[in-house]
Amino acid sequence: MALELQVKTFIAILLLTTGTAYAGGTLTSNLRIASDALSYNLQYRVYLPEGYESQEGLAVLYVVDGQSYIKQGGVPRVLNRLINSGAIEPVVVVFVDARDPDKLNDNRRNAQFFCNKEYLEFYRDELIPEIEQQYPVARNREKRSVLGLSFGGLNSACFGLFGFDTFSGIGMQSPAYHPVPKLLSAYEKMPLLPLRIFLSTGKPNDNTAATRKLRDVLKSKGYPMEYIEVREGHNWSNWKPLIDDVLRFFYEVEAEPS
């Protein structure tokens, strides 16, 4: 009994100091990065699939408002379930916190997500190279995606337009793109970009009409896309159940022919 207690105590201490262990994968503690592009510090956490150390060329999903996708969305547990069942390939997920790491009540998302070129530069020139240096991930855009909701969905749309050389997958849940009204016409005028797009909205009490307009534009251009509407509003009852769909869209393992 004494030995069992010692082992449990050791495991508890280990988890507190190194991050959170889930059945199958690991979520790091908060990691800090100083950004020259933004002139301030940011923090992020990384989900690492089980056995990642022995793999290479893993796909990477960058999630804005990452702290909410962890707490309210429960994404690490969804990842473990889908990876362990063989439904999706192992994937590294970087949860980027929109808040000031020293003042968590100071949320910078509005300044970051409205097609902020410095925010894209932070990913392209600073965060992505750091992730590629630390973890065995692919170094090509084809294995790199971004996900966000509401204004974070707007950010994904902006990254699609201006960062298509960096990201190939664009995930948008209830995108609120009214702060950048020219976004829709920009997608209309641009040639077809090398993007795969996941787009969803709720109804009623969500950005339904605007999202449908975006859907129609993307569909008319010929983008590979999955579009989903759910009977929920602008909240986690809408977004959380769709995490499965997002991950399957980007990372589903094709069943072998029988």
Q: Which residue from 213, 216, 201, 124 is spatially nearest to 162, judged by alpha carbons?
A: 124
Task: Give the whole-angstrom CA distance, residue 97 versus residue 200.
Answer: 22
Q: What integer pLDDT is reported at residue 14 of this predicted model? A: 45
Q: Does residue 36 form part of some domain?
A: yes
Q: What integer pLDDT is reported at residue 255 of this predicted model? A: 72
Q: What is the pLDDT along the chain (258 residues), one digit of tens a residue?
A: 455 544 444 444 444 344 665 568 999 999 999 999 999 999 999 999 999 999 999 999 999 999 999 999 999 999 999 999 999 999 999 999 999 999 999 999 999 999 999 999 999 999 999 999 999 999 999 999 999 999 999 999 999 999 999 999 999 999 999 999 899 999 999 999 999 999 999 999 999 999 999 999 999 999 999 999 999 999 999 999 999 999 999 999 987 665
Q: Does residue 10 form part of some domain?
A: no
Q: What integer pLDDT is reported at residue 257 of this predicted model? A: 63
Q: Does residue 161 form part of some domain?
A: yes
Q: What integer pLDDT is reported at residue 3 of this predicted model? A: 53
Q: What integer pLDDT is reported at residue 24 of this predicted model? A: 84
The separation between CA 137 and the C-alpha centre of its own chain, rounded to angstroms, equals: 15
Task: Give the whole-angstrom CA distance, residue 70 versus residue 75.
Answer: 6
Torsion of CA 73, 57, 141, 170, to 10 degrees: -20
Q: Does residue 8 form part of some domain?
A: no
Q: What integer pLDDT is reported at residue 17 of this predicted model? A: 43
Three-state secondary structure string covering 177-227: CCCCCCHHHHHHHCCCCCCEEEEEEECCCCCHHHHHHHHHHHHHHCCCEEE
pTM of the complete model: 0.90
Domain that holds residue 166: 22-251
Query: How many separate domains does the chain show?
Result: 1
Q: Does residue 11 form part of some domain?
A: no
What's 109's domain CATH number? 3.40.50.1820
Q: Does residue 4 form part of some domain?
A: no
Q: Does residue 15 form part of some domain?
A: no
